[in-house]
Amino acid sequence: SVNPDLASERQTASFSVEKLTAWLDGGAEHTRLRRAVVEAIERDPVFSIENQYFQSQNERYEAAVRKAVHLQKKMQEMGWTDDGPELKYIYRALSGDLAFLLHRIFIRSISVLGSDKQIAKWIPLATQYQLIGSYAQTELGHVFDIATQEFVLNTPNISAMKWWPGDMGRSATHTVVFAQLYINGKCYGVHPFIVQIRSLQDHSLCPGITAGDIGPKMNFEHTDNGYLMLQNVRVPRENMLSKFCEVQPDGTYVRRGSQKINYFTMTTVRISLISDEVVIPLMKACTIAIRYSVVRRQSKLKPGEQEAKILDYQTQQEKLLPQLAAAYAFYFISDYLQELFNRGYREIQRKNFDMLPELHAFSSGFKAMVTQHSTSAVEICLRACGGHGYSLLSGLPSLYTKIVASCLYEGENTILLLQTARFLIKCFMAASTGQPVPPSVTYLAAVTPEKCPAKNKLDFLSPDIYTEAYQHMAARLISSTAAKLQDLIQSGVKKHDAWNQCTVQLAQAAKAHCHYITVKNFAETVEKLETQPGIQKIMKHLCDLFALHGIFSNAGVFLHDGYVSGAQMDMVTASYLDLLAVIRKDAVPLVDAFDFTDKTLNSALGSYDGQVYQRLYEWAQKSPTNKQMSPAYERYLKPLLHKTLSKL
């Protein structure tokens, strides 16, 4: 039975949850397919994550391998294909708790960079798990030895040891290593090689290989992140992936075509991780925290009444509802980026590489902005559940410890923001001298009013008003930082020093740019919803909330040049706080629309029926800490406690 406090929230929804879910999925037929895939996965006991919170690192690794091997059979059985729409639903159902994700990148890199012959040799073995690959970008140098027709690989010292590649610690038999290629003392830049690291016979390490598991981590216990050192490891000439370049037997280096496509592959990884590794966990955290916040009652809002649902407190709304708005905002920006990249990929296939700098800047900046914002958001959700959020059984700690990694992998966020900033500064310089710039940054040359025209708090519910404020703010931060950079250089500071002295502000400017594009895209998404007025209305509220929350919490950058006045900031605050109370009413239906099953959420606080306390109690019974009398009692406590028997 559903907790009555939670049930009552669903009776007053201002829109159809089913319609919103279908729209988010891109149509009801997608929802049906997704649900069928999720159901098939959840019915299969091999994929159960029920005991996950009680497992050791060893147990989680073993379960992840078992699931990966089983999934391959399951996919054949169900007729699901590797390039079909099912894959992302499978991943969603399994929460990514699966081995061999780096193995997939191993396969992808061979497919993209290998010759036809190499593809024919390696890909069938890899897809059948008849070898397990990993992927390592290192600082190594590879020397070609003409006499033996081999590349010789060496890790120069322990600080150059490769650390972290997934599937490398215990599973992998092979890895793609990217490293500098040297022939006769001349360096030809970074190239990819297939290196065998473990015996196919008995899984022992190959000669010259030092490898193992890096040990316990904050999360990713299911993955055997590994280390790798190479000492005089010899790799046959034909193991250099050679679609775009080759070393001939006599040591002649031949290049064919462009290598730029390499970077594009990494760029797409960044884009796909936003949806799979960031937006979905954020949606889950919002679902758990919001459902719990209408079940949990504490203190009285009005004297004499029963204790209030904690979501009825303004402070609780102010914690959770902006995170809910951000989940929607990032879901939409993720779609937008995916479309942009599909378009870019089509251009690249036509050998038009013009979009590459813009795509690279987008993937870097948004990866950084979305992962950082979402990590904070998940932490807020966890803390908003008080003590119970801190129990692993809430599901929130593991969402947090996993999402925080997204700030670190596939490019550290600050480095990525500075890459975006470099692109923005370049575009700003070009735009100010009238040169053409990519469409996403034409705003840098646009003329906006010097003062925000809003006259009352309702004006700030106009997307034109707030989008323009964001645009003005982003353009100002970019232009003022560009000016500081130029001033420093003109005053004699060397270019690289000047750049370093501006990096705090450059990173801020890059974030502001991404924030502006996210607000603009949200507003445009809402506008296109005119055929579904019920959904459009609530999405408009969320869009307003996302935008005003951003102004409220970054007030300084809007007030700085007087574009927004102190009095206008009070209007923003008033509208922002009003919106909380409006969206509060639909908070539960808005998370229900994400359509997570209880099994996927795996949360004692967040399930659909809201039976929080019953579930916490039942799940705690399953903990190994409740399975036996602790040896600590026999060893340390019993002798002491027995002394008391005669005294009490």
Q: Is 609 exposed, middle or buried (0-12, 13-18, 19+ CB in 10 A)?
A: middle
Span 586-645, contacts to a copy of itself by CB under 8 A: 612-614, 616-617, 619-626, 629-633, 635-638, 640-645
Q: Which residue, 263 or 390, has its beta carbon nearer to a copy of itself?
A: 390
Catalytic residue among 86, 221, 358, 410: 410
In whole angstroms, how close is the CB of 485 to a copy of itself at the nearest point?
13
| Cα 58 from Cα 458, distance rounded (Å) | 57
| Cα 47 from Cα 334, distance rounded (Å) | 27
Span 220-259, contacts to a copy of itself by CB under 8 A: 224, 227
Q: Single out the segment in contact with a copy of itself by CB under 8 A; choices: 52-60, 463-471, 536-544, 584-592.
A: 52-60
Count of residues engaged in binding a copy of itself, rule: CB under 8 A: 122
C-alpha dihedral (555, 557, 559, 563), degrees to nearest 10: -130
Closest alpha carbon to 579 in 290, 324, 321: 321
Contact 375, 407 (CB under 8 A): yes
Q: Amino acid identity, residue 212? A: G
Binds a copy of itself (CB under 8 A): choice among 1, 159, 232, 248: 159
In whole angstroms, how close is the CB of 45 to a copy of itself at the nearest point?
16
Contact 591, 473 (CB under 8 A): no
Q: Which residue, 379 or 586, has its beta carbon nearer to a copy of itself?
A: 379
58 vs 50, 55, 61, 405, CA distance in Å? Answer: 16, 8, 5, 20
In whole angstroms, how close is the CB of 303 to a copy of itself at the nearest point?
7
Q: Single out the segment in contact with a copy of itself by CB under 8 A; choices: 31-39, 74-82, 123-131, 533-541.
A: 123-131
| Cα 323 from Cα 332, distance rounded (Å) | 14
14 binding a copy of itself? (CB under 8 A): no
Closest alpha carbon to 538 in 468, 593, 470: 593
Q: Single out the segment in contact with a copy of itself by CB under 8 A; choices: 426-434, 457-465, 466-474, 550-558.
A: 550-558
Span 380-439, contacts to a copy of itself by CB under 8 A: 382-383, 386-393, 397, 401, 404-405, 407-409, 412-414, 418
Q: Which residue, 361 or 593, has its beta carbon nearer to a copy of itself?
A: 361
Q: Which residue, 184 or 204, has its beta carbon nearer to a copy of itself?
A: 204
Length reported for the chain: 648
1 binding a copy of itself? (CB under 8 A): no
648 binding a copy of itself? (CB under 8 A): yes
* Residue 410 bears catalytic tag: yes
Span 307-336, contacts to a copy of itself by CB under 8 A: 312-316, 318-319
Q: Single out the segment in contact with a copy of itself by CB under 8 A; choices: 20-28, 161-169, 250-258, 540-548.
A: 161-169
| Cα 144 from Cα 251, distance rounded (Å) | 7
- Look up residue 535 and give its two tokens: 């959904």
In whole angstroms, how close is the CB of 305 to a copy of itself at the nearest point?
10
Contact 192, 180 (CB under 8 A): no
In whole angstroms, how close is the CB of 3 to a copy of itself at the nearest point?
10
290 binding a copy of itself? (CB under 8 A): no
Closest alpha carbon to 322 in 373, 397, 278: 373
Q: Which residue, 183 or 555, has its beta carbon nearer to a copy of itself?
A: 555
81 binding a copy of itself? (CB under 8 A): no
Enumerate the β-bridge partners of residue 177: 136, 193
Write the DSSP assignment of 395-442 as a string of letters: SHHHHHHHHGGGGTSSS-HHHHHHHHHHHHHHHHHHHHTT----GGGG
In whole angstroms, how close is the CB of 526 to a copy of itself at the nearest point?
25
Q: Which residue, 299 or 349, has its beta carbon nearer to a copy of itself?
A: 299
169 binding a copy of itself? (CB under 8 A): yes
Span 61-80, contacts to a copy of itself by CB under 8 A: 61-62, 65-66, 69
| Strands of the 209-213 sheet, one edge to the other | 162-163, 226-230, 209-213
Query: Long-range contacts: 428-432, Cβ < 8 Å, 24+?
Result: 428/478, 428/479, 428/482, 429/482
Binds a copy of itself (CB under 8 A): choice among 466, 522, 558, 594: 558
- Look up residue 227 and give its two tokens: 């280390």
Span 359-388, contacts to a copy of itself by CB under 8 A: 379, 382-383, 386-388
| Cα 631 from Cα 40, distance rounded (Å) | 42
* Rounded (5°) CA angle 71-76-26: 80
In whole angstroms, how close is the CB of 625 to a copy of itself at the nearest point?
4
Side-chain half-sphere CA neighbours of 562 within 13 A: 3
Q: Amino acid identity, residue 182? A: Y
Place of tokens 């579930």: 615
302 vs 218, 299, 312, CA distance in Å? Answer: 42, 9, 11
409 vs 121, 356, 405, 433, CA distance in Å? Answer: 30, 21, 6, 37
Q: Single out the segment in contact with a copy of itself by CB under 8 A; choices: 37-45, 213-221, 346-354, 527-535.
A: 213-221
In whole angstroms, how close is the CB of 82 to a copy of itself at the nearest point?
17
Q: Single out the segment in contact with a copy of itself by CB under 8 A; choices: 6-14, 83-91, 346-354, 555-563.
A: 555-563
Q: Which residue, 10 or 70, has its beta carbon nearer to a copy of itself?
A: 70
Contact 512, 373 (CB under 8 A): no
Q: Single out the segment in contact with a copy of itself by CB under 8 A; choices: 158-166, 422-430, 445-453, 525-533.
A: 158-166
Q: Which residue, 24 or 601, has its beta carbon nearer to a copy of itself?
A: 601
Q: What is the 3-state secondary structure (H, E, C) of 63-99?
A: HHHHHHHHHHHHHHHHCCCCCCCHHHHHHHHHCCCCC
In whole angstroms, how close is the CB of 216 to a copy of itself at the nearest point?
4
Q: Is 73 exposed, middle or buried (0-12, 13-18, 19+ CB in 10 A)?
A: exposed
In whole angstroms, how close is the CB of 530 to a copy of itself at the nearest point?
33
207 binding a copy of itself? (CB under 8 A): no
Q: Single out the segment in contact with a copy of itself by CB under 8 A; choices: 48-56, 255-263, 286-294, 518-526.
A: 48-56
In whole angstroms, how close is the CB of 433 to a copy of itself at the nearest point?
25
- 562 annotated binding-site participant: no
123 binding a copy of itself? (CB under 8 A): no
Contact 237, 262 (CB under 8 A): no
| Cα 209 from Cα 207, distance rounded (Å) | 6
Contact 223, 166 (CB under 8 A): yes
Binds a copy of itself (CB under 8 A): choice among 33, 190, 493, 577: 577
Q: Which residue, 34 or 309, has its beta carbon nearer to a copy of itself?
A: 309
Span 474-513, contacts to a copy of itself by CB under 8 A: 494, 496-497, 500-505, 507
Span 171-190, contacts to a copy of itself by CB under 8 A: 171, 173
446 binding a copy of itself? (CB under 8 A): no
Binding residues: 138, 166
User: Residue ranges for the binding site for FAD?
Assistant: 138, 166
Could you give the residue numbers annotated as active site?
410
